[in-house]
Amino acid sequence: MTTTLLASCLRVLGLAVLLVASAGATPRPPNIVFILTDDMDVELLQHLPRLQSLMVQQGMSFNQHFVSLSACCPSRSATLRGQFAHNTGMYANKGANGGFDKFFGDGLEQQTLATSLQAAGYVTALMGKYLNGYPSRHPGNRYIPPGWSEWAVPNHGSPARQYNYALNVNGQTVRYDALPSDYLVDVLTRRATRFIRQTTAERPDAPFFLYVSPLTPHFPSVPPRRYRNLFPEARAPRPPSFNEADVSDKPGWLARRDLLPRAQVNLIDALYRKRLRSMMAVEDMVEQVMQTLKDLAIDGRTYVFFTSDNGYHLGQHRLPAGKGTEFDEDLRVPLLVTGPGVRAGSQVTQLTANVDYAATMAELAGIAPLPFNDGRSLVPLLKRQPTGPWRDALLLEHAAERGAPRQTRPWLEPLDPGDIPAPAPMVEWRSPYIGLRLADNRTYIEYESGEREYYDMNTDPHQLTNGYARLPAAEKARLSAWARRLAAAAGQTLRDAEVAPPISP
């Protein structure tokens, strides 16, 4: 037998052995990319054609996707833990009932989606915003929480303003200035694509979990210089709820608000233009991440999630820019997903929420969900499989910031205009509430103050008319009992209660 023929036979034999071994091997878990924007409302999506082309047309859109509490830190806590606020204790962005200090101090970092995925063999990375109030003096500016293989998170300066900040990069502080190349979203994009390339080259047998969290379009919504002149004539949307003519049927914190003056409306329009411009850089990020996956031929085994930590209102119901309310503008967020088995251009109408991310990614990775998980896996929806009984009601909850923060630390994130404490008698707008977002497109809210709200968005899509007074007594009792049952439940008990409303008396 000639040398050439022998070599050819050996190659064929080797391929046969490889195919046999592969047939009995456990399929490799997929890569997961999770892109979480900051304060992006659903309306902005229609102005992002590249994002629509890359993810809406090529993936799945979740059309009834909500956060259970419209505030950054509680939402990000729900993402990492798969729990509602009453089970994490994370209700605010700072203070004794929220922020990084509480999350760290209560030991919640010891069991998160990241720790589970890392333990399962994933190379994990977080790039961008972590939790409001990070870092604090203890554990310090170079602290890296458990579960992360790579870490690039702002720890100094003004990252929300996109320039003149520093990142904690794997335990070392790296400073950035005001050059065009220092724009934070662009820096995160470069780091994210580099992580994908390096991990694929150096750890080809290990799946990765990449969590990228740009501080965009969060106020002050600074765009990169290349986009700062776009949308010169854009105005904030003017739905019927914009500067609502009559709010007398709303709870007291809102009913006492005056109409927004022309100067305030002009500021809202100016901010809207900045939000649009800043989101162009996020489109660049998504485009470059998707292109990197394609260039490396790993797009077919990578799921990409795109969403926001909460929505945002801009003038609706006489409210200046901000979030934190019970209205759909603040609670509804985009969720777009591409990946293996996800049908291009498909849509989901089931009621889904940010508490579902952890269970979804655990199932994709082939591991058990966190033992305290409240959410539901979205995998059957992604793969168009039967789901069984699905959520009929999503718990809504909100509580004001309480007490002083546990640590004194720099504040790296400017407040939204609507987050700045208002003078009396307006401070009660943060009065705690619980409520329901129902799968049949209704909202019910009950405040600790005793006030109530009810909106049927089938006939009142802009939530103009508080219909609580006209509800039958039996329905009032049923909705209240349902909300209270969910607010006291956890885990499987909570999931069961989402599909088992109380029987009306």
Cα(211)–Cα(191) distance, rounded to whole angstroms?
11
Report the pLDDT value the prediction gives residue 502, as an integer from 0 to 100.
Answer: 86
Catalytic residue among 44, 72, 188, 353: 72
Return the beta strands (E) in 320-441 as ranges: 335-338, 346-348, 352-353, 393-398, 433-438
Query: Which residue type sits at 128?
Result: G
Cα(262)–Cα(211) distance, rounded to whole angstroms?
40
Segment among 204-213, 277-286, 414-423 with least mean pLDDT: 414-423
Global confidence as pTM: 0.92
58 touches 344 (CB < 8 A): yes
Residue 478 has pLDDT above 50, yes or no: yes
Cα(190)–Cα(159) distance, rounded to whole angstroms?
16
Domain ranges of the chain: 28-392
Q: Which helix (H) or strand (E) holds 3?
A: helix 3-23
Residue 335 has pLDDT above 60, yes or no: yes
Q: Which of these, 443, 355, 274, lies nearest to 82 by C-alpha position?
A: 355
CATH value of 28-392 in 3.10.450.50, 3.10.20.30, 3.40.720.10, 3.30.465.10: 3.40.720.10
Q: What are the structure tokens assigned to 39, written together? A: 């304060």
Confidence class of residue 500 from pLDDT cuts 50, 70 and 90? confident
Q: Which of these, 217, 124, 112, 130, lies nearest to 167 by C-alpha position?
A: 130
Q: What is the pLDDT of residues 266-320, one digit of tens each?
A: 999 999 999 999 999 999 999 999 999 999 999 999 999 999 999 999 999 999 9
Q: Which helix (H) or strand (E) holds 78?
A: helix 72-81
Return the beta strands (E) in 452-499 as ranges: 452-456
- At how many degrees (to 10) do helices 184-202 and 262-295 cross? 20
Confidence class of residue 403 from pLDDT cuts 50, 70 and 90? confident
How many residues are recorded in the chain? Answer: 505
**CA distances (Å), 212 to each of 33, 126, 440, in order?**
8, 6, 33
Q: Rounded mean pLDDT of 426-443? A: 81
Cα(501)–Cα(293) distance, rounded to whole angstroms?
44
Cα(98)–Cα(418) distance, rounded to whole angstroms?
18
Q: Which of these, 35, 36, 38, lies nearest to 312 by C-alpha position?
A: 38
Dihedral, 159, 164, 169, 172 alpha carbons, nearest 10: -130
Confidence class of residue 419 from pLDDT cuts 50, 70 and 90? low
395 touches 331 (CB < 8 A): no
Higher-confidence residue: 108 or 428?
A: 108
Cα(78)–Cα(357) distance, rounded to whole angstroms?
8
Residue 120 DSSP code? T
Confidence class of residue 23 from pLDDT cuts 50, 70 and 90? very low
Residue 172 DSSP code? E
302 touches 32 (CB < 8 A): yes
Q: What are the structure tokens assigned to 314, written together? A: 């801009």
Q: What is the pLDDT of residues 222-265, one digit of tens each?
A: 999 999 999 999 999 999 999 999 999 999 999 999 999 999 99
The strand order across the sheet containing 452-456 reads: 393-398, 433-438, 442-447, 452-456
Query: Which residue type sits at 9?
Result: C
Cα(216)–Cα(413) distance, rounded to whole angstroms?
11
Query: Which residue type sits at 18?
Result: L
Catalytic site residue 73?
Answer: no
Taking the CA atoms of 118, 119, 120 and 121 in sequence, report the sign of the dihedral they define.
Answer: positive
Is the preceding peptide bond at 502 cis, omega within 30 degrees of 0? Answer: no
Residue 260 DSSP code? P
Report the pLDDT value the prediction gives residue 402, as an integer from 0 to 100.
Answer: 81
Query: What is the C-alpha end-to-end distance of the chain, expressed in Å?
Result: 89
Residue 17 has pLDDT above 50, yes or no: no
Segment among 168-182, 407-421, 439-453, 482-496 with least mean pLDDT: 407-421
Cα(212)–Cα(38) distance, rounded to whole angstroms?
11
Question: Considering just the CA atoms, what is the radius of gyration of the chain in Å?
Answer: 24
Collapsed DSSP state (helix, strand, coil) of residue 236: coil
**CA distances (Å), 483 to each of 176, 491, 494, 502, in order?**
47, 16, 11, 10
Residue 420 has pLDDT above 60, yes or no: no
Q: Which of these, 208, 163, 209, 220, lies nearest to 186 by C-alpha position?
A: 163
Q: What is the pLDDT of residues 213-224, one digit of tens each?
A: 999 999 999 999
Q: What is the pLDDT of residues 46-82, one digit of tens each?
A: 999 999 999 999 999 999 999 999 999 999 999 999 9
Residue 120 has pLDDT above 60, yes or no: yes
84 touches 354 (CB < 8 A): no
